[in-house]
Chains A and B, each alone.
Chain A
Amino acid sequence: MPFEWFVALRYLREGRIQTVLILLGVSTGVGVIIFLSALITGLQSSLIENTLGSQAHVVVRPPEEMPRLLHDGRVEGTDPAAVARGLAPGEDALAVRLEKPAQRLRSINQWPQVMRDIEKVNGVTAVSPLVAGSAFVTRGEATRSVALRGIDPERFTRIIDMPSRMATGVFRVEGTEAVIGTGLAMDLGVRIGDRIRVLTAEGRTDVFTIAGIFDLQNKGVNDSWVLVSLKSAQNLLDLSGGISAIEMRVEKIFAAESIAQSVARRTGLIAESWMALNGQLLVGLRSQSSSSTMIQAFVVVAVALGIASVLVVWVVQKNREIGILRAFGTTRRQILRVFLIQGLLLGAAGWIVGVGIGTVLSLIFASLATNPDGSPTFPVNLSAQLFLGTFAMALSVGLLSATAPARRAAALDPAEAIHHG
């Protein structure tokens, strides 16, 4: 064992109270940071997971129709030039009003080609066609307004893993089969094998057999989605051969917005990411992250100051001993290293204890409240990254806070230190 380690280890062992105090400081700090990070990243990822559990990462739609300009009751075309003219100031003598076109379903032009193009965009892992529109479902006396969604089951499964989220029955929408959510099934009082009638604003109607009932853990979705085959939805919504949207899944969820933008640029279609659609959630997550970062920064500073102040006292107490070591041929560098090593060792040892504290706290917290299915209400995320990150932090805090005391020790005048302590 090198000289510096030999001395550093012995001093740590002999300086019981100081060692214990510093260890307490470091391990409390590390424990708090691990607990806090695990809790917040756990909460955040479960929030995001819940949000994305029933939602595609990016949805591509056809562009909105130009607002039509009406004046004097006469309909102008949707020619943009006319719109610009109509909006120009000075013409307000005319009764001008803008009117959004009626919500008529429009298809994405040449969607198979568009889909193939989008599939090739970097970071996109799955794309799936969607025919969506509103409809009514009747069953006996009950009538419910629902969201009719025609899907390609294989592709859609890669967007949302439906087979794993079936409450009962199977995920199958062949022919006149339909899959609905638990909420709607309860509302209508239907079970697997029961029939429901679907009626659309286009005046078309069809009868489906319930093949499966899903639970996507989202009340809105469970209450309203009726999943049928692409072809059935196209018929019911009068969109023969067309689709109303393309849904996408991406590799890195936080890259969704930039991917959406590049898809929009490339195709001229509207592409919205989950981030744009859940702005509030994102703002919430961000402010949560930044407040947790701030708390962690304060903890780090407090721990560093604690280590530094205990080590400074230590150096003062050891002045004479350091002088003696210097008299017997120990160089300034060696003295400096002794104290830096102490800082490192304290950081490392504090980290080990802190990991224990943080992990136990997190697990206790996670077990305090559980969902009916046994999963924790407040999930914690104890990742290897978190452990490695706090390890690096503990070592650097130990090293940095030992720097000032170590320099002080190395700079001691040996004669002075020996004779006056």
Chain B
Amino acid sequence: MADLITAGRAATKSDGTQPVVLLEQVTRDFGESVITRVLKGIDFRLETGEFTALTGPSGSGKSTLLNLIGLLDRATSGRVCLDGVDTAGLDDTALTRLRGRSIGFVFQFHHLLPAFTAVENVMLPGIARDGRPSEALRKQAEQMLVRMGMADRLRFKPGQLSGGQQQRVAIARALCLGPKLILADEPTGNLDTAASDQVFDLMRQINREEHAAFLVVTHDPSIAARCDRVVELVDGNIVSDRAPVRA
């Protein structure tokens, strides 16, 4: 594994910087008898602190791409490097550890665990990482929730929160361990405009304060317009990659 890490580092050293995400000619096929190529050779870099929108029509492969970058899925071919580490040679446990250490996820539906309170949900990734809960983790989780404006809902269970509040807890959970990369799949897709703006502003704020890179899938042009960079995916290919068109 050490070899692979140095190999991955060496590969990215040539151009001097080390992107958080580096994809080279990544493809992803689905199906057994009838094989569909969903991603058709993606080249993509995401630098530290970049806030990027990923747009494109439904079925174009956005979630599939996010899963690959998030190490929840493996590419059929091509290279996926995360924070300078080539992930090809890592086994499931190593992938899981890397994922837990460096990536935070926000999903369209909050996906909080209903059996746990807001604080516990935010703590869970840390508990899984450390093997046990600790006061430090609890403090960290509470602070994060306070930053999300959830100070008065710390002990609430997800079922007792509104959609926007749930999504803010989910963001707190994604951010709690200070990941380098946050992957958000339609984080505001399920919220009304007000709640959506609030959640987005929080993400931008964290991005500025923590210098975490964000890759946010969105169908909402007004949200895309407020990102640093917009990548458009159509039919498994990146068709445009540019600064947003400001309204």
A residues near B, CB below 8 A? 1-3, 6-7, 10-11, 13-14, 320-321, 324-334, 413-415, 418-419
Q: How far is the CB of B65 from chain A (nearest CB, A)?
A: 11
- Assess whether B96 is in contact with A331, with CB atoms less than 8 Å apart: yes
Q: Tell me the complex Cα distance, A321–B115, Å.
A: 10
Nearest neighbor of A13 in chain B, beta-carbon distance: B115
Inter-chain contacts of A333 with B (CB < 8 A): 93
Within 8 A of A (CB), among B95-113: 96-97, 99-101, 105, 107, 111, 113
- Assess whether A329 is in contact with B129, with CB atoms less than 8 Å apart: yes
B residues near A, CB below 8 A? 63, 67, 70, 72-73, 92-93, 96-97, 99-101, 105, 107, 111, 113-116, 124-125, 127-133, 173
Given A2-B131, A2-B132, are A418 and B124 neighbors across the interface (CB < 8 Å)? no
Inter-chain contacts of B128 with A (CB < 8 A): 3, 325, 328-331, 334
Nearest neighbor of B92 in chain A, beta-carbon distance: A332
Across the interface, B99 reaches (CB within 8 A) one of A13, A327, A418, A419, namely A327
Q: Tell me the complex Cα distance, A2–B134, Å.
A: 10
- Assess whether A3 is in contact with B93, with CB atoms less than 8 Å apart: no
Q: Tell me the complex Cα distance, A329–B58, Å.
A: 28
Q: How far is the CB of B110 from chain A (nearest CB, A)?
A: 10
Q: Tell me the complex Cα distance, A89–B246, Å.
A: 125
Inter-chain contacts of B133 with A (CB < 8 A): 1, 3, 6
Across the interface, A324 reaches (CB within 8 A) one of B97, B113, B130, namely B113
Q: Tell me the complex Cα distance, A318–B70, Å.
A: 21
Given A1-B132, A414-B72, are A321 and B113 neighbors across the interface (CB < 8 Å)? yes
- Assess whether B67 is in contact with A329, with CB atoms less than 8 Å apart: no
Further 9 A-B residue pairs, CB within 8 A, beyond A14-B115, A330-B128: A3-B133, A13-B115, A326-B72, A328-B99, A329-B125, A330-B100, A331-B93, A418-B111, A419-B63
Inter-chain contacts of B92 with A (CB < 8 A): 331-332
Inter-chain contacts of A413 with B (CB < 8 A): 73
Q: Tell me the complex Cα distance, A328–B115, Å.
A: 17
Q: Tell me the complex Cα distance, A414–B71, Å.
A: 10
Q: How far is the CB of B35 from chain A (nearest CB, A)?
A: 18
